[in-house]
């Protein structure tokens, strides 16, 4: 293999569709649950991998992470050179853009504290996901038992075009940790509406016999049982629904996140069975 071929970015070009504020739910969750990790890091670097045809998501990620960890820097990484060229006028203190793919080039020594890959793997085959996850997790900052650091975080998932509905997997250097479902509650008819936004690792597993199918079934049943709370608003109905879910599923967050229209479940409970 030639040096030129070996240096080509790893991955394929995405559609590039993006909109301002599309990833706000994911960003706010990252800031809330990973902010302390970013703050304890001397030089935290976050990567917006595959930001698309416009740089809005990288610009917004910088602003949102800096509310939690003011030293954070963001690197927008895109595999399509013309998108990198178009984004460079938006370069500012703490924000740069680089040509690359799953090899995750960053312009500093060390490894990133965060990689966000939103709507990137939808176009890949399910059997390709594990290798991509493994490659990206290997680029994360490692855990440090001395400081108590769990290491970097990879957030990989999917949302709709205007950011009303998201599902993402959070992974550390050791692999998958959790799955988060997040929605604008006023847009929700029933929780299983989120099934169309399952990440590639799970979307084809929403069939009888698979854990994610059972979870969404129970989620809908709990939502129906909580119908009397709808008179107090969709938020109260959601909180009651998730509280009921905790009896049978390993929900890892609490009411502070539920109020945001979120619920996070341990990966092992939803992982593919076959």
Written as one string, the DSSP assignment of 54-119 is SSHHHHHHHHHHHHH-TT-EEEEEESSHHHHHHHGGG-BTTEEEEE-STT---SSSS--SEEEEES
| pLDDT (0 to 100) of residue 1 | 31
pLDDT, block means (10 residues), the chain with 274 residues: 54 76 96 95 95 94 97 96 96 97 89 96 94 97 87 96 96 97 95 98 97 98 97 97 98 97 98 89
pLDDT at 12: 78
Per-residue model confidence (pLDDT) at position 58: 97
127 CB contacts (<8 Å, ≥6 apart)? none
CB 172 within 8 A of CB 152: yes
Helices 234-245 and 211-225, axial angle in degrees (round to 10): 130
Range 228-234, long-range pairs (CB < 8 A, 24+ positions):
234/185, 234/186, 234/188
Taking the domains of the chain in order of start, what are their residue ranges? 3-188+249-267
Number of Cβ atoms within 10 Å of the Cβ of 141: 21
Report yes or no: 184 and 161 within 8 Å, Cβ to Cβ: no
CATH 3.40.50.150 fits 3-188+249-267, yes or no: yes
How far apart are the C-alpha atoms of 143 and 49, rounded to whole Å? 21
Tell me the sheet residues that pair with 265. 179, 251
């Amino acid at each position: 293999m030639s040096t030129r071929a070996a240096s080509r970015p790893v991955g394929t070009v995405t559609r590039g569709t993006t909109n301002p504020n599309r990833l706000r739910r994911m960003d706010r969750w990252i800031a809330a649950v990973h902010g302390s990790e970013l703050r304890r890091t001397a030089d935290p670097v976050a990567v917006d991998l595959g930001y698309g045809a416009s740089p809005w998501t990288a610009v917004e990620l910088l602003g949102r992470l800096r509310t939690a960890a003011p030293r954070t820097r963001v690197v927008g990484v895109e595999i399509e050179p013309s998108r990198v060229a178009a984004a460079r006028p938006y370069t500012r203190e703490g924000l740069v853009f680089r040509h690359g793919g799953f090899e995750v080039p960053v312009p500093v020594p060390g490894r990133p504290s965060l990689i966000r890959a939103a709507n990137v793997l939808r176009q890949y085959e399910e059997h390709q996901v594990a290798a991509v996850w493994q490659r990206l997790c290997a680029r994360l900052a490692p855990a440090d038992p001395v400081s108590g650091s769990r290491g970097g975080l990879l957030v990989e998932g999917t949302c709709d075009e205007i950011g009303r509905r998201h599902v993402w997997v959070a992974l550390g250097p050791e692999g998958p940790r959790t799955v988060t479902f997040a929605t604008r509650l006023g847009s929700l008819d029933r929780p299983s509406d989120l099934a169309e936004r399952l990440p590639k690792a799970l979307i084809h597993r929403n069939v009888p016999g698979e854990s994610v199918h059972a979870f969404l079934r129970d989620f809908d049943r709990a939502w129906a049982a909580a119908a009397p709370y709808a008179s107090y608003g969709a938020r109260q109905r959601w909180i009651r629904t998730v509280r009921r879910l905790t009896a049978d599923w390993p929900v890892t967050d609490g009411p502070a996140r539920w109020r945001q229209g979120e619920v996070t479940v341990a990966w092992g409970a939803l992982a593919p069975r076959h």
